[in-house]
């Protein structure tokens, strides 16, 4: 699974992207966030308030309950603004 981070999330974690292999315990975006929060303090801080984080699965904006698989691309970013 490829994970991409944007804006302040990328800055907080210190990575633009990473590849991971998911386990059976990671079935949704929310499960993935919980997994990432346990990696280290940077991830924990970045995902501390998930109400200010949006996600996309395979370039489609979705909610945190979205089911995911090992072949998916997951992107995390702050809320988008119009202009």
Give the residue among 15, 2, 7 at the shortest CA–CA distance from 73: 2
Structure tokens that stand for 41 in this block: 């303090």
Under the banding of pLDDT at 50, 70 and 90, the label for residue 83 is: low
Per-residue pLDDT of 31-76, as tens digits, reads 999 999 999 999 999 999 999 999 999 999 999 999 999 999 999 9
Annotated domain spans of the chain: 2-77
CB 36, CB 43: distance < 8 Å: yes
pTM: 0.92
Q: Which fold would CATH assign to domain 2-77?
A: Ubiquitin-like (UB roll) (3.10.20)
Tokens describing residue 36: 């990432």
pLDDT reported for residue 82? 63
């Amino acid at each position: 699974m490829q994970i991409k981070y944007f804006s302040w999330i990328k800055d907080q974690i210190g990575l633009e992207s990473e590849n991971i292999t998911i386990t059976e315990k990671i079935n949704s975006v929310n499960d993935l966030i919980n997994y990432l929060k346990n990696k280290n303090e940077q991830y924990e801080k970045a995902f501390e308030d998930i109400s200010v984080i949006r996600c996309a699965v395979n370039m489609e904006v979705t909610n945190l309950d979205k089911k995911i698989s090992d072949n998916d691309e997951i992107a995390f970013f702050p809320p988008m603004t119009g202009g």
